[in-house]
A and B are shown apart, each in its own frame.
Chain A
């Protein structure tokens, strides 16, 4: 197990390096630079001076190593679009709203989705099952900005119960979080239902019933534990993936989160910020896949204990 984790950590580092090189090259392969924008006309001489001051005149590999050397010391540079702060300071300011939005959205949506999926699987072909299918289908097919718009229309414009936008008092959080929660809710409901049904159709469930085990024990101990296996591989990455929030929801509700910076850093050739954001996401995905693999191995005796044929 320890060997396995060590091997995985090594491969994460490699992935991280490869991604950083690819992203760095792609960023610089896009024509233009930070000072080519039309709304900020600068003369070529000034541009050259600015580029030199930021080290942008150096060869690419020098820039790459300089940046990565900084990263190792937790120095992600200065965002060109807001030079008054460092990238880290910008993240510290803009990430919390995204984290709250994404995190709370998942914390609310995921358990509801799991419960809905379980209920649907246990009450197959009843109204609960049909409701769950409807919710899942709607949640997965209607884009989140449409959901957001409808929420704003109903609860902010017509009923006037909640503010339509902003991120001030906690009551302004409610609508964006609900809008965001529909995504994990729908996805988790679907996965849970199919994972549970898969297990419920296994012969060993009939054996458990034939032994006279109470249904409650069969479901909560055996079926859930088995269904958790395929669920672990899907859920954890999804869970952590959501910690970055949603660009669309943030835009619809004008939440001052990270979402906007994903777009603007690319648009404005804000290299330092762009690199930092992508490396952060890469790292989070790598770690979450590692965690889900470990969870899978811990849940599955075939891997945990080994042995057996084939």
Chain B
């Protein structure tokens, strides 16, 4: 079956000014390196990593909100990497995004109903009165009473604003939703509400969600599969429970080990590895140990150790 979204060999470099003046000097920062990711239809994939890991950049590349330096993006089997503005428009309908900070993402001068109906307006779907009704229905679906249609975003709480952002993203019935830390700014008691809403909507609409987060606990409850990013690379990719129960990459282990344990009885002293120690601990695997044949290489590469579990390793 064609995946809803596929990233193939995606790279993104930024050029940072390191010296100003008449003759500025730039250094290349490789934010995303050779990322391969498949988001099957009707599934939620978690993209996990710390700040600077490239997870948000990957999300922006997938949405073509940033142009990749090299690589390809496929949506429903079509390569959209080089499509121009006009050709891209039908695909924009299929891919929507929700950000962490919905406060700045919602126009303060528009009513909630206008905000939610705006994508319909942009894509010329239906007549104005239908757009209006549909927007109110959508608001109701995400748990906001129809009365909220006439209100403004500043009258809402963080959780309610995130509901509006989700309503706006889903009104076009997209097949792919990129959710970049949508619950990170929310209070604990509201976080669960938004996670449940995403789970319900995913099931109901057969959505495929790329869920970008640093919060591993949320990722565990929400996703089918997890890709762990570190320094712009995917270092491990597997079914969610595999990641949580049998992580193979030292960085994944370090991340999991850092999660606070919710039982004071199980307090312990942790030992922390530095980045260098983690890099040194990159697994070394013989090519015979792999699920598929791979060329031995000096540099680490992402290899399958079982059909559904990829890990970055040095193949000898």
Contact = CB atoms under 8 A, between A and B. Distances in A.
Do A's and B's CB atoms come within 8 Å in the complex? yes
Nearest to A10: B22
A141 interface: no
8 contacts: A3-B21, A3-B22, A4-B20, A4-B21, A7-B21, A7-B22, A10-B22, A310-B16
A7 B21 CA distance: 7
Nearest to B22: A7
Nearest to B17: A310
Contacts of B16: 310
B116 to A, nearest CB: 35
Q: How large is the interface on A (under 10, 10 to 19, 20 to 34, 35 or more residues)?
A: under 10
Nearest to A7: B22
Interface in A1-36: 3-4, 7, 10
Across chains A and B, which 8 residue pairs bring their CB atoms closest together, nearest first?
A7-B22, A7-B21, A3-B21, A4-B21, A310-B16, A3-B22, A4-B20, A10-B22
B225 to A, nearest CB: 31
A33 B16 CA distance: 55
A10 B21 CA distance: 12
Interface string A171-201: 0000000000000000000000000000000
A86 B22 CA distance: 40
A310 B17 CA distance: 8
Given A3-B21, A4-B20, A10-B22, 5 more contacts: A3-B22, A4-B21, A7-B21, A7-B22, A310-B16
Contacts of A10: 22
A177 B21 CA distance: 41
Interface in A287-310: 310
Dominant secondary structure of chain A at its interface with chain B: helix
Contacts of A310: 16
Contacts of A7: 21-22
Interface in B18-67: 20-22
A57 to B, nearest CB: 42
B24 to A, nearest CB: 11
Contacts of B20: 4
Contacts of A4: 20-21
Contacts of B21: 3-4, 7
A3 B21 CA distance: 8
Nearest to B16: A310
Contacts of A3: 21-22
Nearest to B19: A306
B12 to A, nearest CB: 16
Contacts of B22: 3, 7, 10
A310 B14 CA distance: 11
Interface in B169-188: none
A7 B22 CA distance: 6
A284 to B, nearest CB: 24
Interface in A246-302: none
Interface in B104-160: none
A8 to B, nearest CB: 9
A310 B52 CA distance: 12
A283 B21 CA distance: 22
Nearest to A1: B21
Interface in A125-157: none
A4 B22 CA distance: 8
Nearest to B14: A310
B58 to A, nearest CB: 19
Interface string A66-82: 00000000000000000
Nearest to A3: B21
A3 B20 CA distance: 10
A272 B21 CA distance: 36
A4 B19 CA distance: 11
A39 B89 CA distance: 72
Nearest to B20: A4
A4 B24 CA distance: 11
Nearest to B52: A309
B217 to A, nearest CB: 28
A289 to B, nearest CB: 16
A261 to B, nearest CB: 38
A36 B16 CA distance: 60
Nearest to A310: B16
Nearest to A303: B20
